[in-house]
Each structure stands twice: as C-alpha cells, then as structure tokens.
C-alpha cells in the first residue's frame, strides 16, 4: 500500500474555494504575563507608553502605569466607545507625548485604545481582563449621536496581545458568563460568514467547545485557574475568528441595541444570540451543525435551543427587558437593523426581526423565527 492510499479518505466535495488573510498580531499567553508588558513595549521600539483603562480598573491601571513608568494614563473608557470620550482621551494623550498605547481591561478600554490608534497610528499592546475578544480584531465600533457604527482598519489592530490568565481570576461570575457568551457569539457568526474558510471554521468550533466547557466550571468555582485558562484561550480564538471574517445579524442587532439604547454590551449579546441563531438556522445548516457538535447537542436544528439552554444553565440574563430596553423602542431597533444590514445567510425582514426582538424583549422562547 502506498502512502497516498494509506491516507484517511476525504470527501473532496466538502473542500470549498476560499480566501484567508492571517492577521499580524503577536500573542503572549501565560499566567503572570502582565510582567512581560514592559518588555513588549521595548520590543516595539517604544519608551513612553500611555495606559488606557475604564474607571472600574483605575487602581490596576495605576499599578501598571507605575510598573511601566508610563508617560500618562486615561481611565475613563466607556461602553460603545463614545466619540466625546475619545476626544477627551486624545487631549491627555497629546499632553503625555506618548509613543505607544497599552490598554488594560475589557472591550471598553480596548475599544478606546483602538479609537486613539485610528487617530494617531500609534502601536498598541492590549491586556484583556475579560473574554470580549475585540483585542484580536481590526474592528472598531464608535458611538456618535445615538448611533453605533463599525469599521475595519488594520490601524486599530493591536500589535501585541498579552493574555494573563491571572487577571481573569477576579472577574465576577455575572461578567464571566456574559463575556464568555459574547465570545461564543463571535465564533458562531464566523461559521456562517461569507468569508468563512476551513481555518476559521475549525478555530470557531474549537472556541465554542472550549467556552461551553469552561463556563459552567467557572460558575461553580471562579478561582479554577485551569478553567480560566481554557475560557481565555477560547476567547482569543473567538476574537481571531471575528477579526478574520465579517459579522452578521447577531452583531448588527447588538450594535443597534447598544449604541442607540445604551444597553450593556456583553449582556445584550447573551440575550440575543439564541434568537439570532434561530433566525439563521435554516439558511446556515453547516454552521449550525458545527455549533451543535461544539455544544454536544444532537443536531444542527437543535443548536439555537442548545445555546439558549447553556445561557439558562449559566444564569445569564434572558430578556432585553431585564437590561433596561424600552418596549417602545423595538420598532425603531428593527428599522435600524434593516436600514444598513450586515451580510447574513438569511435576508433581513423587518417583520420577522420585529417578532424576534419582541420575544427577546420578553424573554420568551419558541426557537422559531
């Protein structure tokens, strides 16, 4: 038997044409990796870092500022990256005379650093403390006049990501859950993106499986370092997926709800994901089969229900109403979603989306859209 005939059989009909561009990011992943940030600043050829964080991590940012001997700091990052906050940060950045950016925190801090990089082209080091995944993408979402708009630009992609598993040990249980489900949403949408490819497909399925395995363990014991590492690895993989391909209905709805109605970011993702999956299920059977395998459900048609069951088991929020969404705003949200749609396997129908949003607002679940 020759080598060719000894290989495992392959259904060549499953091999589709694709285009894949790898993103130029250096990743440092380890428990205790925060101590390596200074070396990464030097490796970039920089010496005057500017630390960016949110108010809740002001103390941690101050400690990092001291560790680095940073030129300055801005700890007022806000959800959805409002342009007025970025304007204030720009003033502080210019005054510091910094030559690079170091973002410490979740999506808000990393989003602000991206917005600053877009305006200055300064190199970035991202130090995530949640499972948001935005640090691995060249995507920036900014909010202005009540509307959130996203753009893709390699200037906003951090040059370095430093993942320190220890930084996630103090992440509260509720944020662990919603941040993890947010990451899963990145991987799910990557599976049915028009830009989907075998590399990202494999990474997305592995990401969903890792997070779905780790999150229940972390609900039981948030100090489980092994589960924290698995979740953080899953989040990096999910972010890499999102950064390599486009977004669909799920992200469109969450960006609309967050930017226009100021709903909390990861919580909104947690609520919307099963509904968006149900809307797309019939139009994306291969993607749903991959999600089902990752979740351990019986078939692709069960994937949305399996995702809803995971959210329930984790104690995640299950309704937009519980997040403060006004019922009177649902019509407006549906209109905005169809006005500038993201590519999606199923065409966006306003009536169907309004029904989806109505169920998501009430938290009812039929699994059909």
Taking the C-alpha atoms of residue 166 and residue 168, their distance in angstroms, rounded to an integer, is 5
Statement: residue 233 has pLDDT above 70: yes
| Dihedral in degrees, nearest 10, Cα atoms 198, 133, 52, 163 | -80
Q: What is the 3-state secondary structure (H, E, C) of 246-275?
A: CCCHHHHHHHHHHHHHCCCHHHHHHHHHHH
The whole-number average pLDDT for the span 324-333 is 96
Which pLDDT value is given to residue 10? 44
Whether this model's pTM surpasses 0.85 = yes
pLDDT digits (tens, 9 = 90+) for 95-117: 999 999 999 999 999 999 999 99
pLDDT digits (tens, 9 = 90+) for 130-155: 998 999 999 999 999 888 888 999 99
pLDDT digits (tens, 9 = 90+) for 20-78: 888 999 999 999 999 999 999 999 999 999 999 999 999 999 999 999 999 999 999 99
More confident residue, 208 or 341: 208
Task: Give the mean pLDDT of the chain.
Answer: 93
Which pLDDT value is given to residue 297? 86
Statement: residue 246 has pLDDT above 80: yes
CB atoms within 10 A of CB 325: 21
Determine whether domain 173-362 maps to CATH 1.20.1090.10: yes
Q: What is the CATH number of domain 26-168?
A: 3.40.50.1970
DSSP state of 345: S
Question: Beta strands of 72-123 (E only): which ranges?
Answer: 72-77, 100-105
Enumerate the domain spans of the chain: 26-168, 173-362
Which pLDDT value is given to residue 1? 39
């Amino acid at each position: 038997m020759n080598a060719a005939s000894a290989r495992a059989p392959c259904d060549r009909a499953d091999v589709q044409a694709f285009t894949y561009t790898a993103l130029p990011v250096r990743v440092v992943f380890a428990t205790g990796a925060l101590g390596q940030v200074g070396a990464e600043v030097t490796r970039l050829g920089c010496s005057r870092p500017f630390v960016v964080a949110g108010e809740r991590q002001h103390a941690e940012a101050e400690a990092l500022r001291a560790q680095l001997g940073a030129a300055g700091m801005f700890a007022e990052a806000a959800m959805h990256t409002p342009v007025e906050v970025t304007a204030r940060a720009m003033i502080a950045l210019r005054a510091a005379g910094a030559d690079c950016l170091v973002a410490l925190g979740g999506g808000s801090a990393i989003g602000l650093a991206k917005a600053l990089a877009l305006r200055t082209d300064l190199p970035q080091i991202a130090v995530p403390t949640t499972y948001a995944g935005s640090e691995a993408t060249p995507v920036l979402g900014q909010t202005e006049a009540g509307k959130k708009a996203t753009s893709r630009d390699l200037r906003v992609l951090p040059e370095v990501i430093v993942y320190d598993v220890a930084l996630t040990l103090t992440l509260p249980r509720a944020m662990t859950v919603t941040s993890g489900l947010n990451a899963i949403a990145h991987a799910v949408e990557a599976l049915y993106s028009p830009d989907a490819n075998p590399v990202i497909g494999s990474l997305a399925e592995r990401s969903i499986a890792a997070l779905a395995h780790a999150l229940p363990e972390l609900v039981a014991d948030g100090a489980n370092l092994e589960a924290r590492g698995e979740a953080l690895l899953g989040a990096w993989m999910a972010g890499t997926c999102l950064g390599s391909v486009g977004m669909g209905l799920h992200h469109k709805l969450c960006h609309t709800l967050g930017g226009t109605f100021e709903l909390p970011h990861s919580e909104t993702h947690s609520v919307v994901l099963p509904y968006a999956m149900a809307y797309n299920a019939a139009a994306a059977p291969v993607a749903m089969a991959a999600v089902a395998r990752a979740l351990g459900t019986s078939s692709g048609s069960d994937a949305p229900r399996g995702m809803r069951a995971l959210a329930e088991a984790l104690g995640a929020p299950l309704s937009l109403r519980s997040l403060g969404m006004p019922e009177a705003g649902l019509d407006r949200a549906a209109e905005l979603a169809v006005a500038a749609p993201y590519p999606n396997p199923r065409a966006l129908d306003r009536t169907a989306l309004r029904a989806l949003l109505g169920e998501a607002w009430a938290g009812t679940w039929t699994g059909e859209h």
